[in-house]
Chain A
Amino acid sequence: MLEALAAMMVLNLLALGVLFGQFQAWQAQRDVLATQHAVALAHDLWHRMQINVRGQMHYQWPSNTLPAVADCERQACDEMQWAQADLLAWWTEVQLRMPGAQTQITTSAMPAPQVRLQFRWPMAYPFPSLTDQAQPDCPDRWHCWESTWRL
C-alpha cells in the first residue's frame, strides 16, 4: 500500500511539472502575440506621423488636450487637430488589440528629432521568475517593449 501511495505521489509531482511547463508555454505564447501587436501598432503610428509630417511634434501621449479632439472625418483639421485625432484613433486600436496595455509616446526635437514609443502590458498570471529582465525600468510583473525612431 505504501509503495502504491509513493507511486501516486511521484505521478502527482510529474503531472504538476507538466502543468507548470504548459502554463509557461501558454504565457510565452500570449506575450509573443502581445509583442507582435506592439510592433504592428508602432508601425501604424509611424505611418500616421508620415501622413501628418507638419504636425509630428504634436504626437505626445499621454496628452492633456484630448477631450477637445476633432473629428477629422466630419471637418477639415489643422496639423495639431489631426495629430490629436490620430492619437485617439491609435489609442483605440491599442485597447482593442492589447487590452490593459499602457503606452507612452515622447516626441522631442532635441538633440535630434525623434520619437520614443513605450508599451507595457500586464502578465496574465505573473510568476516572479517571469518578470521582464530585458527592460530595467519595467515594473514588476509587467512586460515592456519600446522603440525609438528618427523623424
Chain B
Amino acid sequence: MAPVKSPSEAGHTLVQSLMGMLLCSLVLMVAFAAFAWVQASHSLMRSHADLNARLIAVLGMLRERVQRAGAPALQFNSQGQARLTPRDLPLSGSDNQLFLSHWRSLTPSDCQGHQASTLDGIQDDFKTSAKQEFSCKDSQRSNTSYQALVDGISIIQFRYAQFLPGPPPLMKWQSAAQVTNWQAIRGVQACVQTQWKGNLRVPLSRACNSSQNLNHAFAWRGVASLFHHP
C-alpha cells in the first residue's frame, strides 16, 4: 500500500523543476551576457581614456612651455642695478614645428627635463617625428637630439594669433608663412591628431591639415596664450 502524503509534503513534478532550472539558467545567461558587455565597454573606455590622455598630455606640455616662454629675467648691470630683461623672440616656428625660448636662469630644465645647458637661454623645439611621436629637444645647444614625449601622434599643426596694431587693433590666426612679425604673436593654436586601430567610436573630427572629417583618427585643437610677449 502506497504511503499517503499531506499537501504540504507534496514534491515538485519534473516539469515544474525543469521550468525552474530553465528560468534560473536564463537569468544566468543574461547576467553573463551583460557581464561580457560591461567588460567590453570597460576595454573601450580604457582605449578612449588612453587616447585622451595622449592628447591632453601634448596640449598640457605645450601650454606649460608657452606660458614660460619669453619671461623676463632679473639681471644686474656693472653698477649693481637690477633690471628685467625680456627675451627677444620668445616664440617662432613653422606649421609643424614650434620654438619656445626662455632664460635658463628662470628654469634650468629644457623640455626633456634635462638641466645640461650652460648657455643663457633654452630653446624648446617641438615637432612630431617620423615615428609618429611628439618629440622635443633644446635646439639652443649643439649635439642635442629629439626625444619622444608622447607616442601615437601622427600630425601636429600650429597656427599663430598675430596682433595687428590699429586703429582699430585686430588679430588674425596665421600660418607660419603668413606671420609678418613674430614679436606680435599673442598665442598659438595646436591641432593634435592621433590614430587608432579597432572599433573605437568617437565623434567625427576635422583633420588638422585638410577640411575632411577623419576616419580612424581623431584631432583636437587647443590654444595656449603667450604671457610674456615683447
Determine the chain B residues whose CB is within 8 A of the CB of A25 once the complex forms: 42
Q: Does A48 reach chain B (CB closer than 8 Å)?
A: yes
Given contacts A1-B17, A12-B28, A77-B171, contact A37 B52 (CB under 8 A): yes
Q: Which of A30, A47, A76, A89 has a CB less than 8 Å from the CB of B171? A: A76
Q: Does A52 reach chain B (CB closer than 8 Å)?
A: yes
Q: Does B196 reach chain A (CB closer than 8 Å)?
A: no
- Contacts between the two chains (Cβ within 8 Å), count: 112
> A89–B222 Cα gap in the complex (Å)?
10
Stretch at the interface among B31-39, B81-89, B112-120, B148-156: B31-39
> A54–B168 Cα gap in the complex (Å)?
12
Given contacts A18-B35, A51-B187, contact A82 B45 (CB under 8 A): no
Min CB–CB distance A62 → chain B (angstroms): 20
Determine the chain B residues whose CB is within 8 A of the CB of A19 once the complex forms: 31, 34-35, 38
Min CB–CB distance B148 → chain A (angstroms): 22
Q: Which of B21, B38, B221 has a CB less than 8 Å from the CB of A89? A: B221
Are B38 and A51 in contact (CB-based, < 8 A)? Answer: no
Determine the chain B residues whose CB is within 8 A of the CB of A11 once the complex forms: 24, 28
> A76–B172 Cα gap in the complex (Å)?
5
Determine the chain B residues whose CB is within 8 A of the CB of A77 once the complex forms: 170-172
Determine the chain A residues whose CB is within 8 A of the CB of B27 once the complex forms: 12, 15-16
> A29–B31 Cα gap in the complex (Å)?
21
Determine the chain A residues whose CB is within 8 A of the CB of B223 once the complex forms: 44, 47-48, 51
Determine the chain B residues whose CB is within 8 A of the CB of A16 once the complex forms: 27, 31
Given contacts A76-B164, A93-B221, contact A30 B38 (CB under 8 A): no
> A110–B20 Cα gap in the complex (Å)?
69
Q: Which of A23, A73, A96 has a CB less than 8 Å from the CB of B38? A: A23
Q: How large is the interface on A (under 10, 10 to 19, 20 to 34, 35 or more residues)?
A: 35 or more
Q: Does B76 reach chain A (CB closer than 8 Å)?
A: no
> A8–B169 Cα gap in the complex (Å)?
76
Given contacts A51-B186, A78-B168, A89-B221, contact A33 B45 (CB under 8 A): yes
Determine the chain A residues whose CB is within 8 A of the CB of B182 once the complex forms: none
Min CB–CB distance A107 → chain B (angstroms): 17
> A23–B159 Cα gap in the complex (Å)?
42
Determine the chain B residues whose CB is within 8 A of the CB of A96 once the complex forms: 203, 205, 220
> A9–B26 Cα gap in the complex (Å)?
11
Determine the chain B residues whose CB is within 8 A of the CB of A12 once the complex forms: 24, 27-28, 31
The closest CB in chain A to the CB of B14 belongs to: A1
Are B159 and A44 in contact (CB-based, < 8 A)? Answer: no
Q: Does A112 reach chain B (CB closer than 8 Å)?
A: no
Please list 14 pairs of residues, one from A and one from B, whose beta carbons are closer than 8 Å in the complex, sorted by A's number.
Answer: A8-B24, A12-B28, A12-B31, A22-B42, A29-B45, A33-B48, A33-B49, A36-B52, A40-B60, A47-B63, A48-B187, A48-B225, A93-B220, A96-B203
Nearest 6 CB-CB pairings of A with B: A50-B225, A51-B187, A76-B170, A15-B31, A8-B24, A76-B172
Interface residues of B (CB under 8 A from A): 12, 17, 20-21, 24-25, 27-28, 31-32, 34-35, 38-39, 41-42, 45, 48-49, 52, 56, 59-60, 63, 159, 161, 164, 168-173, 186-187, 203, 205, 220-227
With A47-B225, A48-B187 given, can you name 9 additional A-B contacts, CB distance below 8 Å?
A1-B17, A5-B21, A8-B21, A12-B28, A19-B35, A26-B41, A47-B63, A76-B171, A79-B169
